Amino acid sequence: MRRILKYSVIGFLVLLLVLLVVIGTSLFRTKAPVTVGTIEYGIRYKNNLELDLYFPTRKVFEASPVLFYIHGGAWVGGTKAAINFNRIHGAINTLRERGYTIIAPNYSVAGNNKTVFPECILDVYEAIEWTKKNAAVRGLDTTNLGLLGESAGAHIAMMIAFPDTILQPAKYRKTEFNYVIDVYGPNDLTDLYHGRAAERIDASIGKVLGIIGSDFSIKKYVIGFDPLKDSVRVGELLSRFSPINFVGQKKIPVLILHGNKDQIVPVQQSVILKRKLDALAISNEMHLLDNVDHNFKNASRLQQDSIQLWISEFVLRRYRKKLLV
């Protein structure tokens, strides 16, 4: 038994080492943001939550505009460090070269018997408040703030950008954003809950948890209680935290990126969002990528390059002040 345990531990350490080497190689090969310029990382902004600041690699503005990057992870995991090995760090590097500061916060994720909503949203609000309070000493321009989220992070970004003050504590009400970038984010949790996406997420996570004999239900885990026991409460929660229900309360420009073969978040959610934005004459831009799955899986090199350009140009077009140089 000890021999089996010993070899299991050795095997795990070998796999971990290989993973670290692969990630490290990927970071330097792809010029990830963490390898370039000045960074402040691990700054505590709330309780045990931290954020990282990626400062401009070239001074363009007297005060640097800010883009908040909100990571994905199905509300059950993920990390702010994903900015360094995800699908959009080419755009992040371009924006830093054009004088932008990128701020990546961690936020609360789901736990047993406790819904993740609204805590994950309020956490990002707190990161924004921290930024406003510390803007002067770090040379940040709080009149030029933008939000970019991936997957669950895009949901959080939209929940901050779309609603009026009804869902916001008083101290957050004065923050204005120039734009929000929705990267394959779920905007209708009711549709997501009743569709096949939850089953696919369960299956994906279950492949890992099944190894140790655990089962997993994202519905129960994220909602924080057994949804079969209180359908009314479930309906109210899903409606309250579905960004699609608040479109039009603020007319903020939106960029939408989504693969048309997404197996986690149905692309139809983005299509419906655009229709609603169009109907309300809210400035928006949507790019659907052919034969591309969630996380931009199977994207071609041309599609990958286009993604970087769409994001960086969308952000740069919405700067509200003149260049310093």
DSSP letter string, 14-31: HHHHHHHHHHHHHHHHTT
Residue 199 to residues 54, 109, 153, 184, 293: CA-CA distances in angstroms? Answer: 36, 19, 20, 18, 16
Q: Which one of 16-20, 27-31, 276-280 scores highest in mean pLDDT?
A: 276-280
Q: Are strands 179-183 and 140-150 parallel, antiparallel or unpaired?
A: parallel
For the cut 90, the answer to whether the pLDDT of residue 291 exceeds it is yes
- What is the fold of 38-316? Rossmann fold (3.40.50)
Which residues sit opposite 65 in a β-bridge?
Answer: 141
pLDDT of residue 191: 84
Looking up tokens 């479109």, which residue turns up? 247
Which residues sit opposite 150 in a β-bridge?
Answer: 183
Residue 74 to residues 14, 46, 106, 109: CA-CA distances in angstroms? Answer: 28, 21, 14, 9
Q: Which residues contact 166 (CB under 8 A, 6 or more apart)?
A: none
252 conformational bin, left if phi > 0, alpha if psi -120 to 50, beta if neither: beta
Question: What is the spatial distance between Cα 226 and Cα 241, in angstroms, rounded to a whole number?
Answer: 18
> Residue ranges of the alpha helices (H) in 30-59?
none
For the cut 60, the answer to whether the pLDDT of residue 144 exceeds it is yes
Token output for 89 = 């760090």
pLDDT of residue 148: 98
Question: What is the spatial distance between Cα 132 and Cα 285, in angstroms, rounded to a whole number?
Answer: 28
Taking alpha carbons only, the member of 203, 109, 187, 100 closest to residue 149 is 187
CA dihedral 66, 71, 77, 78 (to 10 degrees): -100
**158-168: average pLDDT:** 81
pLDDT of residue 4: 44
Could you tell me the pLDDT band of residue 15, with boundaries at 50, 70 and 90? very low
Least confident of 16-30, 91-105, 217-231, 240-254: 16-30
Q: What is the pLDDT of residues 235-266, one digit of tens each?
A: 888 999 999 999 999 999 999 999 999 999 99
For the cut 70, the answer to whether the pLDDT of residue 157 exceeds it is yes
- Over pLDDT 90: what percentage of the chain? 62
pLDDT of residue 234: 80
pLDDT of residue 174: 76
CB count within 10 Å of CB 17 equals 10
Average per-residue pLDDT for the chain: 84
**7-35: average pLDDT:** 47
Return the biggest CA–CA distance within the chain.
69
Question: What is the spatial distance between Cα 116 and Cα 137, in angstroms, rounded to a whole number?
Answer: 33
Could you tell me the pLDDT band of residue 87, with boundaries at 50, 70 and 90? confident
For the cut 80, the answer to whether the pLDDT of residue 7 exceeds it is no
Q: Which residues contact 291 (CB under 8 A, 6 or more apart)?
A: 259, 260, 261, 298
pLDDT of residue 257: 98
Q: Where are the domains of the chain?
A: 1-30, 38-316
CA dihedral 150, 156, 162, 163 (to 10 degrees): 170
For the cut 80, the answer to whether the pLDDT of residue 35 exceeds it is no
**184-209: average pLDDT:** 72
Is the peptide bond between 118 and the residue preceding it cis, with omega within 30 degrees of 0?
A: yes
